[in-house]
């Protein structure tokens, strides 16, 4: 195989993170690519650990994309289902994330137009296979090599809970804040560190949703961080967290914050649903089983009767939340050795090699 037409965003969001890691592995393999960045934007600001050699290679692949473009090159796009119809070349492969459970006619049709539609989770693939599709695959993503254990002591004996990921209904952000504050708020033995800024919310909106979740109260031991600009800053945050609550999200295509923390030997409380089932086990996580489901619609990111993102997300009970936090407290000062082992199975080398094998076949 000569060139691949590769498309994906380079930005500080999760899709950008995955794109950069895929590109890094393609660079290691000396795979020739014509790179078509979504939005024609090369924003490397978050990737301060990415080598200059790799950045230069990506930039060259972008600048030379039209010179080396061939319609017979296979095309790999890392993007949402919405917008996946725009492809370069005759053989199209889509890598995507799906969080819901009721694929729409539009989503099914868009998935069908690609030679292969590759989902990040087995849950997502099953949702689409149940609609009769035969061109689906499941290939998981992996641990980002920019993150590593610092072996620093951050808060001493104080137990630091962490909540990472943009504020959303499906992620249970408001519910987690409320429940945690009611039991642990202003208790000096515990801290909750939140990195939950939603880039699609204005500053006043963020303040409003946080105030609503906490019933207008403020707590000395709940710390809200601004958006962290670099992976080095994120690495410090992950290492400072003893118990990660991000895994309580009710619908995910993977859940990088919970997964990354677990791979770093930390303990995550994880809802046993959607993509979490592919990597979270009783041995490496504090598992919470869903108590029920609710419609996912929030009229912001998920709108009922839309062509995309329809269905339900998973709910956990208050009692199960508190039971899981107490269990996590009892183990959180010991290293999660089973979590660290996840990196052996889930890494971007495996991800890219499986994708290339699929394309070559």
Q: Which CATH class is domain 159-344?
A: alpha beta
Q: How sure is the predictor about 269, in pLDDT bands with cuts at 50, 70 and 90?
A: very high
pLDDT in tens, 83-124: 999 888 889 999 999 999 999 999 999 999 999 999 999 999
Going by DSSP bridges, is the β-strand pair 222-224/190-195 parallel, antiparallel, or unpaired? Answer: parallel
User: Are 162 and 245 spatial neighbours (Cβ–Cβ below 8 Å)?
Assistant: yes
Q: Looking at residues 283-310, what average pLDDT do you find?
A: 97
Q: Looking at residues 273-300, what average pLDDT do you find?
A: 97
Given phi > 0 = left and psi -120 to 50 = alpha, else beta, which region is 2?
Answer: alpha
In 49-188, alpha helices (H): 52-63, 65-68, 105-112, 122-129, 173-184
Residues 6+ apart with CB under 8 A from 322: 179, 183
Cα–Cα distance between 290 and 268 in angstroms, integer? 16
Q: What is the pLDDT of residue 90?
A: 80
pLDDT in tens, 190-219: 999 999 999 999 999 999 999 999 999 999
CB environment 151-164: b (16+ within 10 A), e (fewer): eeeeeeeebbbbbb
The pair phi, psi for residue 85, each rounded to 5°, is -70, -20
Percent of the chain residues past pLDDT 70, beyond the cut:
100
Q: How sure is the predictor about 24, in pLDDT bands with cuts at 50, 70 and 90?
A: very high
| Count of residues in the chain | 361
Cα–Cα distance between 161 and 223 in angstroms, integer? 10
pLDDT in tens, 115-149: 999 999 999 999 999 999 999 999 999 999 999 99
The pair phi, psi for residue 199, each rounded to 5°, is -65, -15
Cα–Cα distance between 163 and 68 in angstroms, integer? 44
Percent of the chain residues past pLDDT 90, beyond the cut:
96
Q: What is the pLDDT of residue 213?
A: 98
Stated pTM of the model: 0.96
Residue among 295, 313, 275 at smallest CA distance from 97: 275
Please check the confidence at residue 1 and state whether its pLDDT lies above 70: no
The pair phi, psi for residue 64, each rounded to 5°, is -100, 10
Q: Looking at residues 25-47, what average pLDDT do you find?
A: 96
**3-class SS of residue 187:** coil
Instruction: Decide: residue 262, CB within 10 A, 0-12 exposed, 13-18 middle, 19+ buried.
Output: buried
Q: Looking at residues 310-331, what average pLDDT do you find?
A: 98
- The CATH number corresponding to 3-142+346-360 among 3.10.290.10, 3.40.50.2000, 3.30.470.20, 3.40.50.720 equals 3.40.50.2000
Domain ranges of the chain: 3-142+346-360, 159-344
**3-class SS of residue 149:** coil
User: Are 23 and 6 spatial neighbours (Cβ–Cβ below 8 Å)?
Assistant: yes
User: Are 3 and 68 spatial neighbours (Cβ–Cβ below 8 Å)?
Assistant: yes
Cα–Cα distance between 138 and 120 in angstroms, integer? 6
Q: What is the pLDDT of residue 191?
A: 98
At residue 184's C-alpha, the angle toward residues 218 and 201, to 5°, is 45
Q: Looking at residues 341-346, what average pLDDT do you find?
A: 97
Strand partners, 32: 3
Enter the DSSP assignment of 331: H
Residues 6+ apart with CB under 8 A from 326: none
Asked whether this chain's domains 3-142+346-360 and 159-344 adopt the same fold, the reply is yes
Dihedral of CA 95/96/101/107: which sign?
Answer: negative
């Amino acid at each position: 195989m000569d060139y691949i037409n590769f498309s994906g965003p380079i930005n500080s969001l999760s899709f950008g993170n995955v794109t950069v890691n895929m590109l890094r592995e393609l660079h290691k393999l000396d795979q020739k690519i014509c790179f078509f960045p979504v939005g024609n934007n090369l924003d490397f600001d978050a990737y301060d650990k990415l080598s200059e050699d790799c950045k230069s290679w990506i930039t060259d692949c972008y600048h030379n994309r039209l010179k080396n473009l061939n319609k017979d090159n296979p095309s790999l796009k890392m993007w949402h289902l919405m917008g996946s119809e725009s492809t370069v070349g005759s053989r199209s492969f889509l890598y995507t994330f799906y969080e819901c459970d009721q694929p729409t006619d539009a989503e099914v049709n868009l998935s069908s137009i690609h030679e292969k539609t590759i989902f990040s989770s087995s849950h997502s693939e099953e949702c689409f296979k149940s609609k009769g599709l035969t061109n689906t695959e499941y290939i998981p993503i992996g641990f980002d090599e920019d993150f590593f254990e610092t072996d620093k002591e951050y808060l001493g004996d104080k137990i630091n809970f962490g909540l990472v990921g943009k504020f959303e209904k499906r992620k249970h952000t408001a519910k987690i804040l409320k429940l945690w504050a009611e039991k642990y708020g202003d208790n000096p033995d515990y801290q909750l560190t939140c990195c939950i800024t939603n880039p699609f919310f204005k500053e006043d909106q963020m303040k409003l949703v946080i105030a609503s979740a906490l019933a207008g109260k403020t707590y000395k031991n709940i710390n809200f961080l601004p958006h962290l600009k670099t992976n080095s800053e994120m690495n410090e945050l992950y290492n400072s967290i003893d118990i990660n609550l991000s895994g309580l999200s009710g619908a995910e295509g993977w859940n990088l914050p919970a997964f990354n923390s677990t791979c770093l030997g930390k303990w995550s409380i994880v809802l046993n649903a959607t993509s979490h089932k592919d990597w979270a086990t009783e041995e490496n996580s504090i598992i919470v089983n869903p108590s029920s489901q609710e419609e996912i619609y929030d009229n912001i990111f998920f709108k009922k009767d839309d062509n995309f993102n329809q269905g339900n997300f998973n709910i956990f009970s208050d009692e199960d939340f508190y039971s899981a936090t107490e269990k996590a407290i009892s183990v959180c000062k010991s290293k999660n050795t089973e979590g660290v082992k996840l990196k052996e199975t889930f890494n971007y080398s495996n991800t890219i090699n499986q994708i290339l094998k699929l394309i070559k076949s």
